[in-house]
Chain A
Amino acid sequence: MGLNFHMAAVRNGITLTGLCKEYRLGKTSVQALRDVNLEITAGSFACVAGPSGSGKTTLLNIIGLIDTPTSGTVHVAGEDIQGLTEKLRTRYRSRTLGFIFQSFNLLPVLDVFENVNLPLLLHRELTVAQKRERVREMIAAVGLDAHLRHKPFELSGGQRQRVAIARALVTHPYIVLADEPTANLDSHTGTEVLDLMEHINRSRGTTFIFSSHDPHVMERAGRVIHLHDGAIEAA
């Protein structure tokens, strides 16, 4: 493909067409996604909502090239990303996407600065000084300047999720996928995290697609995509 995903993604967004995902568990099969058709415009602050087992995580995983659909296509910037080579899939994940996980997935051996810096290890076009500046800027943006050298176990849940957000954003991605980013946080901290995500969405134009089954979180989204039993109920 060789396209610059970034700018094209800003213009064209994400298009899912006839997306199905079936998991086989022994002799039984589970239909995780059923004929999902969806367009998410660039710069959206979209929430994929639905109860547990509705297919939210599967949908995000397929957009993030972590999982593959049984059928259907995912177009990002007009390009079918399922057809990418392994090298371009890796590049897509490192340059275009940012991931925020429900359980933060920080590397326990690294401190805040190093965790945020982790994705930049792959950005050889940046000098060490540039990386350092970008990391500091991102940590400041999530309000953790005072915790630069703290290890994850020294932080609260909300602070850890902030670190995860900073790590997801440090590469300046155009799409951020967040799988239940507030699920492990109390309501006050969850609100803070959402505030932060929304602020970044508005100030940078970053597309946010996050999943949740919390009505308070859904209220904050610019668009809510309701999934039920793998199918879109409302979008």
Chain B
Amino acid sequence: MERLSLCLRNLGRHAWRTRIILLIALLGAFLTFLFENLIEDMSRKQSDMFGRAFSGHFLVLNRDIDTKNTFGFYYCKPEQMMSPGQVSRVRAFLAGLPEVSGAQERIVFSGLYYGEKDAERGFAGVAMDMGEFQKNFTDLYFAQGKPLARGEQGTCAPNWYEFGKEKNLVIGNRYVFLVPNREGEFVDREVLAKGGLDYRSMPKDAFGVSNVVFDLEGFRSMVGYSEADATEVIGFLHDARTAARVLPRIQAWLDQNEPSLKVVSWRVYAPIMAEMVLGFDVAMKAVEAILMAICVLLVVKLTTFSIIERYSEIGTMRAIGFSRADVAFQFTLEGFLAIAAGAAAGFILAAVLIGTLHAAGIHNKTIFWSYVIGNGFHPAFHAQKVVRVILVFFGVAVLAPLLPAIHGGRLSILRTLEKR
């Protein structure tokens, strides 16, 4: 307590320096805590958004299908399709994994349609259970027209702003589609563009995937599937970033039970988006690291300055019996207390700001931020980040003043006493 009291008095005596250290620690803690939580939220949001917006967080499909850079709209030969038995076994296994929030089988294919003025256009098609649609594809919704019903034949839902922009498929009109049957032969069907799909969080003017959605059961009936075959089982995770941990377990099970199948992460089939997520994470971490380094350097400088200013005091303390370690401890404790107090204030400020942002949400229309966080972003606290930032600042509070303090303790008594 006596040492603590001495430290507090010294901090009070060197008030301007104490205030600067407090301010540095406050800003550092504020920004670090804010960044750590925001990065966590953005990373989750990006991973989840991109996964859901394309083809789920992972795909289980034939080993020979090349999914790289396809965004999930790959080419599948008829003999590469999964049998109904395989589909049900895979789905049953996935249902038992706590990290998996949902799974469904789909048929991915390519087709043609004759749009307005009989213009011929190719498209990437996907047939999925529209009853499960809202549950898993939370980033997509019917922006115009009516939702497709489960088992409904002869209807489709074009990606809204792609087709809306081109005015090529008008909601409510019927068009001739050429779509593949189970054998891969193209059959022509008249299809009603019943509803337009939209992405809630994607920028409308710069983003669009030219896909057309059908109901799975309706599609099978429409083109004449005799068995409930599928090209893939797509899966969703509660937290898309757990893929690195969960997917190897799925692959191990497939190797043992369904050796013709493989599991692929969305980060593999949409690597550009994965790179965006990673790039943003790295950029944010780099900013955070630079901030932290500036904090540490400033504290080191100020502690060094404090030591130079208090040479005579150090000499006196050493002469009356304080050891090198005692002197180093004194300066370290002073630095620690100032940083800890500033950091605590910074945490509180950041907590207030995050709480406010969480309650209000961040709404934006800009393209970049729409890619990064979507429109309507509610950052939150993450327990592990709280612990991590506190540990980091504890380390900074101890280590930043420690080096100059050790230097102070090692100064020659004679030299310090001579400095008056």
Q: Which residues of B are interface residues toward A (Cβ below 8 A)?
A: 2-3, 5-6, 9-10, 12-13, 312-313, 315-324, 326, 413-414, 417, 420
With the chains together, A20 CA to B2 CA distance in Å? Answer: 41
Tell me the complex Cα distance, A166–B288, Å: 52
Given A66-B413, A107-B313, A121-B2, verify A94-B320 contact (CB < 8 Å). Answer: yes
The answer to whether B320 and A93 touch across the interface, beta carbons within 8 angstroms, is: yes
Task: Decide yes or no: A108 and B2 within 8 Å by CB, A93-B320, A94-B320, A101-B316 being known contacts.
Answer: no
Whether B320 lies near A119 (C-beta < 8 A) is yes
Return A135 CB to nearest CB of chain B, in Å: 11
- Please, which residues of chain A bring their CB within 8 A of the CB of B322? 90, 94, 122
Residues of A within 8 A of B326 (CB): 122
Residue of B nearest to A91 (CB): B321
Enumerate A112-157 residues with CB–CB distance to B below 8 Å: 114, 117-119, 121-122, 128
In the complex the two chains form, is B9's CB within 8 Å of A110's CB?
yes
A43 contacts the other chain (Cβ, under 8 Å)?
A: no
Which residues of B are found within 8 Å of A219, using beta-carbon distances?
Answer: none
Option from B5, B12, B319 in Cβ contact (under 8 Å) with A64:
B319
Q: Provide 21 A-B residue pairs closer than 8 Å at the C-beta atoms, listed in order of the A residue.
A: A64-B319, A66-B413, A90-B321, A90-B323, A91-B321, A93-B318, A98-B320, A101-B319, A103-B420, A105-B312, A105-B316, A105-B417, A107-B313, A108-B13, A109-B6, A114-B5, A119-B320, A119-B321, A122-B326, A168-B320, A171-B321
> Do the beta carbons of A167 and B320 come within 8 Å of each other?
yes
Which of B2, B12, B324 is close to A117, meaning CB atoms less than 8 Å apart?
B2
Asked whether any CB of chain B lies closer than 8 Å to the CB of A99, the reply is: yes
Interface Cβ pair total, 8 Å cutoff: 65
Does A67 lie at the interface of the complex (its beta carbon under 8 Å from any beta carbon of B)? yes
Which residues of A from 152 to 179 have beta carbons under 8 Å from B?
Answer: 167-168, 171
- CA A61 – CA B326 in complex, angstroms? 21
Instruction: Determine the residue in chain B with the shortest Cβ distance to A90.
Output: B323
CB-CB nearest in chain A for B316: A105
Interface positions, chain A 52-108, Cβ under 8 Å from B, are: 61, 64, 66-67, 86-87, 90-91, 93-95, 97-99, 101, 103, 105, 107-108
Which single member of B12, B312, B320, B323 contacts A118 (CB below 8 Å)? B320
Q: A66-B414, A95-B321, A107-B313 are in contact. List 19 more A-B contacts (CB 8 A).
A: A61-B414, A66-B417, A67-B414, A90-B321, A90-B322, A91-B321, A93-B318, A99-B320, A101-B417, A103-B420, A108-B13, A109-B10, A109-B13, A114-B5, A118-B320, A121-B2, A122-B322, A128-B2, A167-B320
Query: Once the chains are docked, how many angstroms separate the CA of A205 from the CA of B143?
Result: 99
- How close is B64's CB to chain A, nearest CB, in angstroms? 73
Q: Are A109 and B9 in contact (CB under 8 A)?
A: yes
- Which single member of A64, A107, A117 contacts B316 (CB below 8 Å)? A107
Residues A99 and B420 in contact, CB atoms below 8 Å apart: no
A101 to B323 Cα, complex, angstroms: 19
Chain A contacts for B316, CB-based, 8 A: 99, 101, 105, 107
Q: What is the CB-to-nearest-CB distance from B212 to chain A, in angstroms, rounded to a whole number?
A: 77
In whole Å, how far is B18's beta carbon from the nearest beta carbon of chain A? 12
| Across-interface contacts of B312 in A (CB, < 8 A) | 105
**Cβ of B66 to closest chain A Cβ, rounded Å:** 70
Most buried by A among B5, B319, B414: B319
What residues on B are CB-neighbors of A93 within 8 Å?
318-321
- Kindly state the separation between the CA atoms of A61 and B9 in the bound complex, as whole angstroms: 30
Taking CB atoms, residues of chain B closer than 8 Å to A117 are: 2
Residues of A near B319 (CB, < 8 A) are 64, 66, 93, 99, 101, 105
Bound Cα distance from A90 to B318, whole angstroms:
8
Nearest first, the 6 closest Cβ-Cβ pairs linking A and B are: A94-B321, A105-B316, A109-B13, A90-B323, A109-B9, A119-B320
User: What residues of chain B lie closer than 8 Å to A114, measured between beta carbons?
Assistant: 5-6
B417 contacts which chain A residues (CB < 8 A)? 66, 101, 105
CA distance A168 to B13 in the complex (A): 24
